[in-house]
Structure 1
Amino acid sequence: MAIHSTAVIDPGADLAPDVEVGAYAVIEKNVQVSEGCQVGPFAVLREYTILGPRCTVDAGAVLGGLPQDAKFKGERSYLRLGADNQVREFVTLHRASGEEASTVIGDSCMIMAYAHAGHNCTIGDEVLIANSVALSGHCTIEDYVTIGGLAALHQYTSVGTMAMIGGLSRIVRDCPPYMIVEGNPAKPRGVNLRGLMRRGVSEAARDSLRRAYRMLFRSRHNISDAIAQILAQEPDPGPELLHLIEFMRGMDQGSRGRQRNP
């Protein structure tokens, strides 16, 4: 274990034997740091933060800060990160609000400098969050999403798998899976074809998503009518199209375009 002499580590923290900790880092009690992790200089791991294997926390990042939620009364809650995540300089990730609740980051994510994820967010696997992105509380980000720099997401928004959000976007409604979403306020601009190809989605599935995009976002149909038209045209929909349809149904049934909005 390579721990700098100026690092402050509470005796109640649980660190794997090979963890590296940089100068002036602070690790509080009830923190768990798994094998292969690196904690950079001046980083802070607050109480009830759990790091999976081989995570890197860069200089000045603060993980597990108290939730910025007026309802929070000091109850035990968590920030949980999976394996192989990169958390870059001055990122802030807050633990959850609510007894035994968790803010969750999946595996193999890159969270770039100065980004923020608020309390009770759930972020999937292989998500890329660029510099200075702000996720409000209770956001849900599915797998393989890319969020461009300085984008801001309203609380309770959901972003579907393989979606790409353009930089500087203001997200106040859910972002459908497989789509490029951009603007202020943001709206779907097209299918994320390059991302789909990178993930090995078939040409037939990509074509069906393009047809669905035109029906959902470029016609005068409401969501329920557009879904009916899509299913009439696609008698044997694949898993990607079915996921898009279910996501859009959730948006339609939710509040203010957010399926998880209370």
Structure 2
Amino acid sequence: MSRIHPTAIIEPGAQLGEEVEIGPYAIVGANVTIGARTTVGSHSVIEGHTTIGVDNRIGHYASVGGRPQDMKYQGEPTRLVIGDRNTIREFTTIHTGTVQDSGVTTLGDDNWIMAYVHIGHDCHVGSHVILSSNAQMAGHVVIGDWAIVGGMSGVHQFVRIGEHSMLGGASALVQDVPPFVIAAGNKAEPHGINVEGLRRRGFSPDSISALRSAYRLLYKNGLSLDEAKTQLRELAASGGEGDEAVNKLIAFIEQSQRGIIR
């Protein structure tokens, strides 16, 4: 049975799963669906065409499913979809999508979203991501699984942050961070492979060694990007254990629209 504080407002049409808890003075809009065992903190607003999965923890004063901060938005019924087991802390803002993109903002599973984070319209955040306090994502940002964004960092619209990468605190990111890479600074620059993170997640020594070799080709050998890609393909064809990871790196680079950090 759900526990709804008597001061909370649940608009007609909202759908709440079993054992949902809604705190004091929170507001849940008519087009919101909240999955089982999710908790919503006091004074939070969950609005828009928003679907939230199970076992999420939404902190006090969060604003989830608000209208996109895009002057082209004309009230279209765009969406926000949040997965399962996410922690979304105080004063976080997450907006719905726009019709100029896919029309949906997404957040995967098992993410840790700290206080004052902003996730703009049409962003796609994977799973097991950490967004530290005051990290700010402009519209259309894509963040891969297991990535970490440091506190006080700003991410330009349409930028992609690859899986298992890390962006240091107080960074300004205007181009893509390739998978497995550490970046930091204003403007953010590459600072090696995220070795410790990869070890914690079970990457083999051979895979980490292959990624280190790939990083040297990309950033340390004085090669042009086209020259580096040619040698990366040769590295990925070597038949080693790290081929899959290197191929992911190559695919990310080839799909980049804003270019990778250099």
TM-score bracket relative to the smaller structure: over 0.9
Letter in 2 for 1:106: G
- Percent identity of paired positions between Structure 1 and Structure 2: 36
Counterpart of 1:77 in structure 2 is: 78
Counterpart of 1:250 in structure 2 is: 255
Counterpart of 1:8 in structure 2 is: 9
Unpaired stretches in structure 2, ≥5 consecutive residues: none
Match of 2:205 among 181, 203, 206: 203
Give the SS at the match of 1:131.
Answer: coil
TM-score by length of 2: 0.94
Distance in 1, matches of 2:235 and 2:34, equals: 51
Measured after TM superposition, the shift of residue 256 of structure 1 is 5.0
Counterpart of 1:111 in structure 2 is: 113
Distance in 1, matches of 2:161 and 2:110, equals: 18
Give the SS at the match of 1:93.
Answer: strand
Counterpart of 1:166 in structure 2 is: 168
Q: How does 1:147-226 map to 2 (within 5 A)?
A: 147-226=149-228
Give the SS at the match of 1:90.
Answer: coil
Q: Could you tell me whether the CA contact under 8 Å between 2:10 and 2:28 is conserved in 1? A: yes
Unpaired stretches in structure 1, ≥5 consecutive residues: none
Counterpart of 1:54 in structure 2 is: 55
Counterpart of 2:245 in structure 1 is: 240
Alignment deviations for residues 108-144 of structure 1 (CA, whole Å, 9 cap, x no partner): 0010000000000000010000000000000000100
Alignment deviations for residues 138-158 of structure 1 (CA, whole Å, 9 cap, x no partner): 000010001110110000000
Q: Could you tell me whether the CA contact under 8 Å between 1:140 and 1:156 is conserved in 2? A: yes
More deviation in 105-114 or 226-235? Answer: 226-235
Q: Could you tell me whether the CA contact under 8 Å between 1:224 and 1:249 is conserved in 2? A: no
Distance in 1, matches of 2:216 and 2:255, equals: 19
Q: Could you tell me whether the CA contact under 8 Å between 1:147 and 1:165 is conserved in 2? A: yes
Give the SS at the match of 1:232.
Answer: helix
Q: Could you tell me whether the CA contact under 8 Å between 2:38 and 2:56 is conserved in 1? A: yes
Distance in 2, matches of 1:256 and 1:124, equals: 21
Corresponding pairs, count: 256
Distance in 2, matches of 1:146 and 1:255, equals: 20
Give the SS at the match of 2:233.
Answer: helix
Q: Could you tell me whether the CA contact under 8 Å between 1:165 and 1:180 is conserved in 2? A: yes
Letter in 2 for 1:39: V
TM-score by length of 1: 0.94
Counterpart of 1:146 in structure 2 is: 148
Counterpart of 2:99 in structure 1 is: 98
Distance in 1, matches of 2:44 and 2:35, equals: 16
Measured after TM superposition, the shift of residue 231 of structure 1 is 3.1
Measured after TM superposition, the shift of residue 49 of structure 1 is 1.2
Counterpart of 1:88 in structure 2 is: 89
Give the SS at the match of 2:98.
Answer: coil
Distance in 2, matches of 1:248 and 1:211, equals: 16
Give the SS at the match of 2:184.
Answer: strand
Letter in 2 for 1:247: F
Distance in 2, matches of 1:187 and 1:239, equals: 25
Alignment deviations for residues 203-242 of structure 1 (CA, whole Å, 9 cap, x no partner): 1110010011111011211111012123334522511110
Counterpart of 2:233 in structure 1 is: 231
Q: How does 1:30-41 map to 2 (within 5 A)?
A: 30-41=31-42
Give the SS at the match of 1:187.
Answer: strand
Distance in 2, matches of 1:232 and 1:20, equals: 54
Distance in 1, matches of 2:166 and 2:259, equals: 21
